[in-house]
Chain A
Amino acid sequence: QSALTQPRSVSGSPGQSVAISCTGTSSDVGGNNLVSWYQQHPGKAPKLIIYDVTKRPSGVPDRFSGSKSGNTASLTISGLLAGDEADYYCCSYAGSNTFYVFGTGTTVTVL
């Protein structure tokens, strides 16, 4: 099972919005609504920021939003802040053979 495909990097100025895509197949992203997104700062453990495609855990700002169309999920970060600079990973449940597949990861840079 290959990793989900994400852009290697995206960048934006403070206050702007950026979107990160996460492309899989009908066996994972397109086959359910079980996509989650994780933020990881250097040397730290990942942090859940979106689950079940669009839901936000308590404490996660509403500047972070998720969506999905077909085999591609997306994470949008609005009103970019310096602290949003991090790596972001999508993850999808992929059924009872592969179970979970993560994305390749995207580095967000705040200019």
Chain B
Amino acid sequence: EMQLVESGGGLVQPGGSLRLSCAASEFTFSSYWMHWVRQAPGKGLVWVSRMNSDGSTTNYADSVKGRFTISRDNARNTLYLQMNSLRAEDTAVYYCASPGVRDGYNFDIWGQGTMVTVSS
């Protein structure tokens, strides 16, 4: 079964940095677009960023552009999200997601999420 497992969340002060990881298994990771989606406590889903299969194309939501950087290591089947200049409004569960074999404009495979809390 295709699986994504996020890690790296935690408590960080405003202005601080954090790097999230998403490890893929039973999944041809190197073939697919990968995304980050976040969900603030009690709120809805918000798309954050995406990267294509070979890492040559990245896109970001306006709210994180210039502060967050998505990257991937296809040899390690791992996706990353480097988050800098963190703000209170970045507090959320962060999910990695992928269309997987469907390879379209949807999110078929999700991780369990990792919580990021930005607070002093």
By secondary structure, the A interface counts as strand
| Minimum CB distance partner of A96 in chain B | B59
On chain A, the residues within 8 Å of B50 by CB distance are 99-100
Minimal beta-carbon separation of B105 from chain A (angstroms): 4
In the complex, whether A34 has a CB less than 8 A from a CB of chain B is: yes
In the bound complex, do residue A89 and residue B111 qualify as a contact, i.e. CB atoms below 8 Å apart? no
Alpha-carbon distance between A86 and B64 when the two chains are bound, in angstroms:
29
On chain A, the residues within 8 Å of B95 by CB distance are 45-46
In the complex, whether B11 has a CB less than 8 A from a CB of chain A is: no
On chain A, the residues within 8 Å of B44 by CB distance are 3, 89, 102-105
In the complex, whether A48 has a CB less than 8 A from a CB of chain B is: yes
In the bound complex, do residue B107 and residue A34 qualify as a contact, i.e. CB atoms below 8 Å apart? no
In the bound complex, do residue A36 and residue B45 qualify as a contact, i.e. CB atoms below 8 Å apart? no
| Minimum CB distance partner of A45 in chain B | B110
Interface members, chain B 11-48 (any A CB < 8 Å): 35, 37, 44-47
In the bound complex, do residue B108 and residue A48 qualify as a contact, i.e. CB atoms below 8 Å apart? yes
| Minimum CB distance partner of A100 in chain B | B47
Q: How many residues of A contact B (CB 8 A)?
A: 24
Bitwise, B49-82 to A at CB < 8 A (1) or not (0) is 0100000000101100000000000000000000
In the bound complex, do residue B46 and residue A102 qualify as a contact, i.e. CB atoms below 8 Å apart? yes
Alpha-carbon distance between A10 and B113 when the two chains are bound, in angstroms:
27
| Minimum CB distance partner of A105 in chain B | B44
Choice from B47, B59, B105, B110 contacting A102 with Cβ under 8 Å: B47
A and B contact pairs by CB, cutoff 8 A, 12 listed: A3-B44, A34-B104, A34-B105, A36-B105, A38-B45, A45-B111, A48-B107, A57-B102, A99-B50, A100-B35, A100-B47, A103-B44
- A3-B44, A91-B47, A99-B50 known; 15 other A-B pairs, CB under 8 Å? A1-B62, A34-B104, A36-B107, A38-B45, A38-B107, A40-B45, A46-B95, A48-B107, A48-B108, A89-B44, A99-B61, A100-B105, A102-B47, A104-B44, A105-B45
